[in-house]
Amino acid sequence: MADLVEPDYVPQPASKDCSECFDPAAVGRGREPPRADFFAYESEALALWRAPRTASRRCLDLNGTWKFTWSPRAGQSPKGFERFDFDDASWGGMPVPGNWELNGYGFPIYTNVDFIFKCDPPNIRYRGDDPDYNPTGTYRRSFDCPADWLAGGLQVYIHLGAVCCTCRAWLNGQELGFSTDSKLPVEFDVTPHLRPGRNVLALQVLCWGAAAYLEDQDMWWFAGITRDVYAYARPRQHLQDLAVRAAADGSLELDAEVVCSSGLTGCSLQCRLYDGAAELANFGVPLHQRTNSIAVGRQAVSVPGVKLWSSEAPHLYSLLVSLRDDKALMTEAVCLRVGFRTVEIRQGRLLLNGSELTLRGVNRHEHHQLRGHVVDRESMVTDIRLMKQNSFNAVRCAHYPNDTLFYELCDELGLYVVDEANIESHGMDFNWDKTLGNKEEWDVAHMARVRRYVERDKNFPSIIIWSLGNEAGNGINHHRTYMWLKRRDPTRPVQYEHARWRTDPDWNTDNIEKMDANTDIYCPMYPSHKKLEKYGELYEGDVHARPLIMVEYAHAMGNSLGAFKEYWDVIYKYGVLQGGFIWDWVDQGLETQKNGKKIWAFGSDFGGKDTPTDLNFCINGLVQPDRKPNPHLFEAKKVMQFVTYRAVDLATGIIEVRNRYDFLTLEHLEFSWQISQNGLVTESGKLPGLSTGPHQAENILIPLPQLNAGPRCEVHLLVSACMRAAGGCFEAGDEVAWEQWLLHPPHKEEVPAAITGPEPAVDQAPELVTVTAGALTARIEVSRGCLCGLAFGGLELLASPLLPNFWRPPTDNDYGANLQNDMKCWRFAGQRATVTNGLRIEPGPGAVSIGAELLVGAGAKLHLDFRVSGAGVVVAAKWRPARKDGPQLATAGSVGYLKGSTHRHIDVEGNVVRARWNDMGAWQSLTMNVAGKEAGKPLEDGDKLALQAVTGKTESKLLLHGLVPIPSAATTPPGYAGAACAVEATGDPQDPIWTLRRAAGEGHVLSGDKVTLEAGGKFLAVVENFVVAVDEESPFTTFLLEVKEQPAPMRIGFTGSLVDGFHDVEWFGRGPHESYLDRHASARVGLFQGSIAEQTVKYVRPQENGNKFETRWMSLKRRPADPCTMMLISAAGQSQMLEMQCHHFALEDFDGGDVKAQQSFLHAGELIEQATTAFCVDAIQMGVGGIDSWGRKPLDEHLIKPDQDCDWSFQLMPCKEDFDSDWRRRLL
């Protein structure tokens, strides 16, 4: 109990200023000891009903509009504001709960890692244009104290649910105390200061004090009172604290602490346990005096036949605890929800009730799109229901204790919870000699935060794991909190991601870190699939191993969550891998207006130009700010579904069904099957019910009908499991799990069928070749070899030419991996491709073939053949990347390596430039950004360029700097007699200060050329292992330039646009949502339709979106009265499936260019819908990735290979649907 440990604060006298706010050890003064969350009612009926506390006569709700004034300076409140008689008539109003920045005071600031103030603990100096900016909010609230509270001699307390960041409180001019921790309640005893009638509560709230160094979470820096405020009354003898432990064996233990300032005087404690209305146990708790003011009691009983609590069956009991006086009269009653369950780690596994758990988890911030950090019940219920409906069974409270209502709802609706201390000092260095986690002066603050949240939340059965905090380094303070917590609550494991050894403070993507002792679970951040596999291989059979549960993984920023299925393939392979928590649940966007349009605002949208920001790195959600699902939520649901299937023998219809629930059988599910032919359902049926046990599997037999499928028919089998009845977060019929198999593939004809129809006529002009065949007219541009016109029935259909395309609007993951620069050579490569040997025109029966060979970029070739007939245009393409027949051509934007005369490469680590090894790795990579030359253009003698190096990375971006000479830093490297100065990687990565000269003279620069680089009269040189700038040329200034192989393109395909009038789309392929090479498990094969406008996924920041992976055909539709009612785009020849997309937006409007922050349309709400329809037809597009968003590319198998050939064909078929009702058959 709370009084059995030392106080959580250092008593201090009140100060006239806010200096204690900047003392790390000053965590609180005058506040009540931490206790479990409960409300004591004046009647047992109210307690059992679990009535809103406002229904009690002992509660006074203080939410609403408070008087408020704001200052941009720390501690600057109006003089005497705390006085009872202070005149606040001129003040404004502030909603409580409410964030200042969303109610007219100050401005929202978002950063991920860096503090918004200079890192100099415990001092605060804002990093913006005003270093003294540190707002103070001053509140006043009048209330009338109920007369019966005073007449009855009740003890009265003020409850402040959460105040950010530090708070001082007064009642009627008398100071109550001081508190820190923005995510926990503070309570003050106001009894001595109450007056009959009107009372005035005054608060002074400071935005950032020393405590802010422990609250550097990846979220908005909001201030204010963010949870409920109320006054409540208690009898003089009352329940101070209750701790309940209910185990899977039916044992029930209750520890009680009673305030009894005048002695026990016959008071007693009675408990009754109910299951609904049925009373299961009735027992007393003997009390004995512990101190002059505190009595304690403990009782243990056994309850036979209890129903156990789990996320799958969250059965709760009600424990009514009644305190009675010496006359046996009930003085107050508390009702606690009790879930019987046992959490333990045994033999290398996390167990609940003896069963191994698999946590399908997600990290969740408290965020509301309008109210910021003020989250109501409706929003919480929406989140939990969506999580449950999408296969989640666990949530991590990232990175602080939540409103207790959220835990109550998790208890009731069934979610496992990782509860976390409000500790993150991410902006500090993680090294043990720098982190606050290893500083003695921060010991009290760390301990107070852990103790207070554990005491508050200890009775919630949904909480199965405690966390010491997030990204706060490691050291003595975390060791002490771990040891305290293990003593305080031995019934739950404790985790801490940063519990790493002193010599290994940072986490590693691919390798297993050396772990310290202060964690029971190995909970890495953003491990690769390779790392999980490695841990599984090492520790699967080790009964002493820590179970691995990823604390954060699959960074869901923008268009992401690629290779998510591959994560779960590994998890299911090894029992020691017990799941993880996706980062994260909700895009932390704020609804606002920009140029009259609603947008979801993020970091750069508020404040002045000097406001610290990490842009849109707060947009990492599976759902958008209004909880509209992003497409990758569906991928998470499918991959983590609780029932999986495996084809045992498709020919006879034998399917294995595996129950991946940890406790439920499959009796609550109804199974069905269906057969589809070319996307249309032709047969379906119900399956017998299954009672397969948890973690078990059994085979089922699908009564497959006789398939009468023609050679062009594609047949699929789908098996689905849906809820039999409504319950919890589900409605009857909700689909829980499905799988689909190909039963009969289509067989493409080896020899294409002869084309019938009108003979085409060819008109050749110097710039254009026109082919007319019946109602169709196609035009081919001679210089670019592209289809620039396509008309049907006199209606021109193309608004822009059909051009090769090797680029996509970069995703957030692309930006994080610097692909917008590394692959820049492909941005305009398709538009600038040129015909090498003119067009080849070959008339034939019923069709004309027009061939062209295009030179693309630095040596790649695209061979095209347009086959034009009355039925449409077939485009056959062959992609041949540049062959390394000779030395690699150096191009603007390419990556090179500079080897000095000592056979050492220039090497950059951080900002330090050296020449250490004869290696060509990440540290030796230099991107050559050339002045006035587009990426991909050949590098030539005399070009001016910047030498760009990656100098580090954060969780939001790669750090890029240019190599620059530092004339003021003179140096004398050994073995060099002349003057020299240092070279550092501290310059602008785009500033072209170096002039490149080939030893061979004028011409293109090739890999293997000897070169010199000169900047302002200084030559780059390598002397031994020193990189310096010298005044004269010498052998030290000559470098061998080695050029890295040109990267593969992001996609290989075509793009174009159609004229106004196309509104709807139908397609046969994967859907209904977008899908990609590495994210398509959730998109089933079928026939889908909708408006073209609906196909654009409006990620908060526009980027690549709307792809349809493995599409057989796509039909873009117009009005029936038009001469052409459809444009059919279908795979042709040997290409059975392609990737397609369509939009009513220009593709370039999704593109952020070189610098994301300078994107023309930075928010989806700003996009301007076009009358035209943009479309893409791709042979392949690289995956979207998803390990992290700050460096990792998609997995190798989801990338296009630099030497990968591609052959593909598709056809454009304009037609009039009224005259061609069998057009679907013709597509096959």
The 3-state DSSP class for residue 342 equals coil
**Contact partners, residue 169, CB within 8 Å, separation at least 6:** 158, 160, 175, 176, 177, 178, 179, 186, 188, 201, 202, 203
Please state, in angstroms and rounded to a whole number, the distance separating the CA atoms of residues 656 and 658: 6
Torsion, Cα 15 17 21 22, to 10 degrees, reads -110
Give catalytic status of residue 471 as yes or no.
yes
| DSSP-derived 3-state class of residue 81 | coil
Q: Are 1121 and 1166 in contact (CB under 8 A)?
A: no
**Cα angle: 118, vertex 124, 125; to 5 degrees:** 55
774-777 contacts, C-beta under 8 A, 24 or more apart: 774/870, 775/870, 775/1123, 776/868, 776/869, 776/870, 776/871, 776/872, 776/1214
Distance between CA atoms of 706 and 696, rounded to whole angstroms?
31
Distance CA 345, CA 543 (A): 10
Separation between Cα atoms, residue 933 and residue 828, nearest integer Å:
13
Cα–Cα distance between 104 and 289 in angstroms, integer? 52
From 552, 853, 1014, 1139, the catalytic residue: 552
Burial of 1119 (0-12, 13-18, 19+ CB in 10 A): exposed
241 CB burial (10 A radius; 0-12, 13-18, 19+): buried
Report the candidate in 975, 974, 948, 951 with the shortest Cα–Cα distance to residue 963: 948
Q: What single letter denotes the amino acid at residue 718?
A: L
| Tokens standing for residue 164 | 């950010």
- Whether 344 is a known active-site residue: answer no
Tokens matching residue 1131:
């795979």
CB-facing half-sphere around the CA of 403: CA atoms within 13 A: 23
**Which is nearest to 645 in space by CA: 690, 705, 582, 579?**
690
Evaluate whether 850 touches 771 at the Cβ level (below 8 Å).
Answer: yes
Q: How far apart are CA 161 and CA 376, in angstroms?
A: 13
- Alpha helical stretches, state H, 1030-1128: none
Place of tokens 């999408």: 390
Q: Which residues pair with 591 in a beta bridge?
A: 600
Residue that the structure tokens 């998890």 belong to: 571
Q: Please name every residue paired with 582 in a beta bridge, in sequence order, or none if there are none.
A: 362, 553
Contact (CB, 8 A) for 1186 and 556: yes
Q: Decide if 1140 contacts 1067 (C-beta within 8 A).
A: yes
Closest CA to 786 of 877, 902, 908: 877
Selected catalytic residue, list 44, 471, 635, 1104:
471
- How far CA 12 is from CA of 26, 30, 291, 440, 625, in Å, comes to 8, 9, 24, 19, 43
Q: Which residues have a catalytic role annotated?
A: 471, 552
